[in-house]
Amino acid sequence: MLNLLMKYAYDHDLAPEPGFARKWVRWAIVCDANGRFLEVIELGDTAQRRNPGLVFPRCPDLPSFEVAAGDKGERRSHFLIEAAQVVVLYGLEPGDAKTESKHRYFLRLLREASPTMPEIAAAHRLLDDGDSIAQIRAALQSHKAKPTDSVTVNVAGTFPVESDAWHEWWRTFRDGLIAGKRSEDMMRCFATGDSAPPLLTWPKIKRLGGQPAGDALVCFDKAAFRSYGLDQSANAAVSEEAAVACCTALDDLVSNHSRALAGTRLIHWFSKSVPPEDDLLDWLHEPRELQESAAQDRASKLLESIRTGKRAHLADNHYYALTLSGMSGRIMIRDWMQGRFEELAANVKSWFDDLQIVRRDGKGLTLPPKFMAVLGSLVRDLDELPPPLGARMWRVAVNHEPIPHDALVRALIRARADVVTDQPPNHARMGLMKAYHIRKGDPHIMPGLNENHPHPAYHCGRLMAVLADLQRAALHNVNAGVVQRFYAAASSTPALVLGRLTRTSKFHLDKLDAGLAYWFDGRIADIWVKLDSVPRVLSLEEQSLFALGYYHQLAENRKKREVKEVLDEQIDGANTEEDNTNA
């Protein structure tokens, strides 16, 4: 994994020399060649609502552990680029000794680097003058800058950070800072296999939900985690160059190619770059459509083009997927997956195919659900989703694994609650239950109704749907219908409920005209023919078949327009008669 992260960094021109990094800067303090303040200007696209500023590709950089490692309480700062509160004490809170110490350190770096180029000397004169700093703070205030916004200096139209004149000075200065952060012993690097002194403290990655300062991929700070007398990260020896490359890759992936999922981050990449429209893992989150062509159709066509040689370059491509989270300063690797692009295309197609189900109104099939919609169908609120289940479902989608039993139970409970509370069925939830049985090897489960399904639980659900529609046609709007009162019992102990409900249905049939009564009576009889015996008790898996039979039959009933029209006419006629009576 470390080697693949390094390769990603170098393939994408992200791996900088240790001590250098790509940075965004929001504001520039402009002065002349003599260090006289001129103005503050905003960098980047100023019309953008959340303007990140201007990116500088090769900036001096100190990892967080180097910044925090000052001697005798000294607080270090970065060089040439820092927050406005550090550079000019903008927005400084009274008694903030930490920021004042960083400000002094920033000036010290400028002073010591001044011999390398006159522009840095001018920047030092500017920021070492109290009157100039006051003017800069006022200018930042007028621009409504934030104290945490990044700032650099522009001297006579030149950005010193873009010059390479200070690079050698910076390498020497930084080598002195990290002398104690590298082991003097040569060890075999885990990432490259080369012999090199290991970096003892790794740079940290932010935005993983752990510490605000970030979390380290490799760290050993407890005796219980160490062996053979090795200190800190020498227990998993990685050279500084390799560690920086890995962290740079992770930082880019977390920033640009990740999704949040139940307290974790899902990141992915490919061994060879693919255009966004072919990024199959993005399709799971945001199914893409091209007019009539749904996501699974596109996956099918992409798979076919690989197998026929039209997209032969994708056949040799591989995908890599990581599930990460931050915890107490450490990066926790929750899952790691890799495989061939062709296998991924087949698995993504299967995911969409298995989830596809008939619409509630019976008019065609549903569109492919977003991955988060599938997860959301398992809980009332996504915040309630257990992180292990979210990570497991991601693996299920990517690797074509069986749907977890826990997911089926949650979907079943939520589907039952929808019926009892008279809420419309959730397409993603019903599709997930269907996918569970497909991946268990049931060849009889289809997107829509299968009148020849061999399991009685499925037909018990169908019968419940017909009885519910029958009551609706006969009694119209009732406060608590047969479904709300008896669905839960019928789905778990059908033998105790369905016979009694069928006998009661005779009274409902008597309230209908002959044609509609004949139609309902025929549907009920057809379903009873499929039931050699009604099960006394249904297991959880069988209850999900009951739920699918109920849903499929409802959709089928609504698809038959002539029945729907008759039902609506019956209800409208009854409502009109009731209104006339009340009048």
Encode pLDDT of 271-319 as tens digits: 888 887 778 777 776 655 443 345 667 777 788 888 887 877 788 889 9
pLDDT 10s digits, 72-95: 556 888 999 999 999 999 998 888
Residue 13 lies in a domain: no
Strongest mean pLDDT among 67-71, 522-526, 543-547, 562-566: 543-547
Do 343 and 359 fall within a single domain? yes
Using CA atoms, how far apart are residues 405 and 410, in angstroms rounded to an integer?
A: 9
pLDDT score of 134? 95
Element holding 354 (H helix, E strand): helix 341-355
Sign of CA dihedral 538, 542, 546, 549: negative
Matching residue, tokens 């299968």: 450
Using CA atoms, how far apart are residues 205 and 216, in angstroms rounded to an integer?
A: 6
Number of CB atoms found within 10 A of residue 533's CB: 7
Do 551 and 403 fall within a single domain? no
pLDDT over 90 at 150, yes or no = yes
Residue 581 lies in a domain: yes
Using CA atoms, how far apart are residues 409 and 393, in angstroms rounded to an integer?
A: 14
Helix segments in 114-177, DSSP class H: 118-127, 130-142, 167-177
Residue 289 lies in a domain: yes
The tokens describing 477, both together, are 């709007």
Residue 381 lies in a domain: yes
Using CA atoms, how far apart are residues 149 and 146, in angstroms rounded to an integer?
A: 5
Do 273 and 205 fall within a single domain? no
Do 287 and 297 fall within a single domain? yes
More confident position, 573 or 22? 22
The tokens describing 466, both together, are 């017909």
Nearest to 183 by CA among 198, 194, 203: 198
The tokens describing 216, both together, are 């380290």
pLDDT score of 293? 45
Inter-axis angle of helices 130-142 and 118-127, to 10 degrees?
A: 80
Q: How confident is the model at residue 182 (pLDDT cuts 50, 70, 90)?
A: low
Using CA atoms, how far apart are residues 20 and 507, in angstroms rounded to an integer?
A: 82
SS3 446: coil
Do 556 and 476 fall within a single domain? yes
Number of CB atoms found within 10 A of residue 343's CB: 15
pLDDT 10s digits, 232-277: 777 888 888 888 888 888 888 888 888 888 778 888 889 888 887 7
Number of domains in the chain: 4
Percentage of residues of the chain with pLDDT beyond 70: 89
Do 251 and 262 fall within a single domain? no
Number of CB atoms found within 10 A of residue 478's CB: 12
Do 24 and 161 fall within a single domain? yes
Q: How confident is the model at residue 548 (pLDDT cuts 50, 70, 90)?
A: very high
Do 288 and 395 fall within a single domain? yes
Which burial class, exposed, middle or buried, applies to 484 when counting CB atoms under 10 A from its CB (0-12, 13-18, 19+)? middle
More confident position, 308 or 133? 133
pLDDT score of 583? 41
Helix segments in 421-481, DSSP class H: 427-439, 456-475
State mean pLDDT over 141-166. Answer: 94
- Pick from 133-137, 477-481, 576-580: least confident: 576-580
pLDDT score of 54? 92
State mean pLDDT over 417-442. Answer: 93
List the domain range (segments joined by +) for residue 268: 258-324+333-448
DSSP string, 493-536: -GGGTHHHHHHHHHHHHHTS-HHHHHHHHHHHHHHHHH-SS--S
Residue 375: which residues within 8 A CB-CB, separation 6 or more? Answer: 261, 262, 382, 385, 390, 393
User: Mean of the per-residue pLDDT values for the chain?
Assistant: 85
Residue 9 lies in a domain: no
- Pick from 52-56, 111-115, 118-122, 569-573: least confident: 569-573
Using CA atoms, how far apart are residues 69 and 48, in angstroms rounded to an integer?
A: 37
SS3 35: coil
Buried b (16+ CB within 10 A) or exposed e, 249-270: bbbbbbeebbbebbbbbbbbbb
Do 310 and 391 fall within a single domain? yes
pLDDT 10s digits, 497-515: 898 888 888 888 888 888 8
Using CA atoms, how far apart are residues 22 and 61, in angstroms rounded to an integer?
A: 9
Domain stops at, among 132, 162, 177: 177
Sign of CA dihedral 517, 520, 525, 526: positive
Do 376 and 235 fall within a single domain? no
pLDDT over 90 at 166, yes or no = yes
Do 197 and 221 fall within a single domain? yes
Residue 574: which residues within 8 A CB-CB, separation 6 or more? Answer: 476
Domain stops at, among 425, 448, 471: 448
Residue 39 lies in a domain: yes
Q: Are 534 and 461 in contact (CB under 8 A)?
A: no
Q: Are 156 and 33 in contact (CB under 8 A)?
A: yes
pLDDT score of 562? 47
Which burial class, exposed, middle or buried, applies to 275 when counting CB atoms under 10 A from its CB (0-12, 13-18, 19+)? exposed
Residue 458 lies in a domain: yes
pLDDT over 80 at 170, yes or no = yes
Do 249 and 298 fall within a single domain? no
Q: What is the pTM of this model?
A: 0.71
Domain stops at, among 235, 256, 277: 256
The amino acid that residue 6 corresponds to is M
pLDDT score of 545? 96
The tokens describing 85, both together, are 């509160």
More confident position, 437 or 190? 437
Q: Are 257 and 276 in contact (CB under 8 A)?
A: no
Residue 430 lies in a domain: yes
- How far out from the chain centre does Cα 10 lie? 25
Inter-axis angle of helices 341-355 and 295-307, to 10 degrees?
A: 150
pLDDT score of 43? 94
